[in-house]
Amino acid sequence: MLRLYDEETGNAEEITTGRPGVVRIACAGDLRALLVGDLIRRVADHHRLRAIGVWDDVPGAADLGVRPAELTSGDADVHVGATVGRCSLASADGLDPLAVRLALLLRHYRSDVDLSRRDLEEADASLTSWRREVARWAESPGRPPSREYVREAIAVLDDDLDTPAIFPVLFRLTEDASLPPGAKFETVIKLDMILGLDLVALVGRL
């Protein structure tokens, strides 16, 4: 189960909910906090919890792949804001908006970040490269996703949303010659439901 940093204990603590099977996530009104809230909601969905976002819409949030909240006010089990690091962003004009999401996922949510234009351009190039790889895998016969890679990726996300640690897992999956392309495709699709990077964007378009 997902564990998040608790300022009182100084440790990552398992989230607790007021109602069985339901978790409500409230966010402060800035883009990075909403991205973290969206990620928590996606991880909770993976664990088959009914995840409810509680926040106001913020301009630009949809561009970062943040799905609209179910509620704009109300009680919450998880409050996102105080532990989210400071964030400064260069202009992303002309780049895929999800490159900003990727650039942020490459940094731990509790760290301060100052993303330059070069950082965003590198993330944009990486996003395109990933999508091309996924599109090639999609041309192969379908195979079940790899339980091992999914389990490993979820484990690092459950450990205080350690998103930077998920990318080495994905790189190893890419280089794993023992895993059929169809299985790589299905594995990445399953994980992208959490990452929210639209990695299938080029499927059928190359």
Predicted local distance difference test score (pLDDT) of residue 21:
92
Pull the structure tokens for residue 110.
């509790």
Q: Using one digit for the tens of pLDDT, what is the confidence trace for 148-175? A: 999 999 999 999 999 999 999 999 999 9
Predicted confidence (pLDDT) at residue 29 exceeds the cutoff of 80: no
The position carrying tokens 């929210």 is 196
Q: Closest by alpha carbon to 38, among 3, 67, 77?
A: 67
d(CA 40, CA 188): 18
The predicted-structure confidence for 111-139, as pLDDT tens digits, reads as follows 999 999 999 999 999 999 999 999 999 99
Number of neighbours of residue 30 by Cβ within 10 angstroms: 15
- Identify residue 53 by its one-letter amino acid code: G
CA-CA distances (angstroms) from residue 45 to 67, 88, 114, 117, 148? 13, 29, 30, 33, 19
Distance CA 67, CA 61 (A): 8
How far is residue 92's CA from residue 102's CA, in Å, rounded to a whole number? 12
- pLDDT value for 112: 97
Say which residues have a Cβ less than 8 Å from residue 113's Cβ, sequence separation at least 6: 85, 86, 87, 88, 104, 107
Please answer whether residues 37 and 61 qualify as being in contact, where contact means their C-beta atoms are separated by less than 8 angstroms. no
Query: What are the residues facing 167 on neighbouring strands?
Result: none
Q: Please provide the average confidence, as pLDDT, over all residues in the chain.
A: 94
Q: Provide the token pair at 157.
A: 């996300």
- Do residues 67 and 39 touch, judged by C-beta distance below 8 A? no
Q: Which ranges in the chain belong to alpha helices (H)?
A: 31-46, 98-105, 117-137, 147-158, 166-175, 181-195
Per the confidence metrics, is the pTM higher than 0.85? yes
pLDDT at 55 over 80: yes
When pLDDT is cut at 50, 70 and 90, the band that residue 28 belongs to is confident
HSE-CB of 15 using CA atoms within 13 angstroms: 29
**What's residue 2's pLDDT?**
92
